Amino acid sequence: MKNKIFLFLSVLMLVFTRSQNLHIKYTYVNPVNFLINEDLYVSGNYALSIRDSVMLKKEKNQLKVEGNNVEILGKVTKQKTKYYKTSLNETLIINEFIGENSYWISDQLPKIVWNTNFVETKKIGKYVCKKATAVFRGSKVAAYYALDLPFSFGPYKFSGLPGVILEVTEDEKSVNSWKADLIESYVSKKIELMAPKNNTISYKEFIHLQENKDLEEVKRLTSNLPRGAVVHIDSPKRNGIEKKYEWEE
């Protein structure tokens, strides 16, 4: 697995250092309505997405209690999540953090079945975009893609349309959405890609680690509540764009 990922990233770095690139900057609205920058770099059959993790959230007492539900609001962090993509297959290589620990993850994405039978269009920047819809890991999504940008990529893990995806929304909600703010072509001198050295795991394993960490954090925070307080701790609620995984079906 490590050798395959190293080869994938080596090819990706070679493409980015020698080719004409497309750069798109998106604004991502996360599940708790914070705005986050996400940059997509595209070259031929390869792409790299870099998502900021810098969010303004409560630094102390990071616990929100509504009825019997407990929600962690999170911390300020400067770590970035990176998604290495290719249109040649459905494998996505991710570099993501849990706390201070960096993980390299192989995500075997389910093929997104897009419905493109729409006449509806939307102008994003200078591009007239066509509409498509799909179900992605338990969420109904709508996307707008630009045929004038003939690359099969988009923000986050979205791909598979005959043009770059410039906007994604979940079932007309205001959160879990991406919209392009900047679209530009340029020649990059070099984009440094760090090859994985350890902690290479499957996405299923990573989700298990992440959700266990969230549950531990809830238990830690609730341990400081006043004596007699009753809190029911359930499994972490998935309020992001990925709500149900293919291995759970």
CB neighbour class for 230 (10 Å; exposed up to 12, middle 13-18, buried from 19):
exposed
The pLDDT value recorded for residue 75 is: 46
Q: Is the pLDDT assigned to residue 58 strictly greater than 50?
A: no
Query: For the residues 70-93, what does the mean pLDDT come to?
Result: 73
Are the C-beta atoms of 131 and 118 separated by less than 8 Å? yes
74 pLDDT tier (thresholds 50, 70, 90):
very low
Question: What is the per-residue pLDDT across 174-218, written as a single tens digit (0 to 9) for each?
Answer: 899 999 999 998 766 455 555 555 558 999 999 999 888 877 776
pLDDT at 227: 67
Report d(CA 33, CA 90) in Å as an integer: 29
**Cα–Cα–Cα angle for 32, 184, 170, nearest 5°?**
30
Query: Looking at residues 140-145, what average pLDDT do you find?
Result: 98
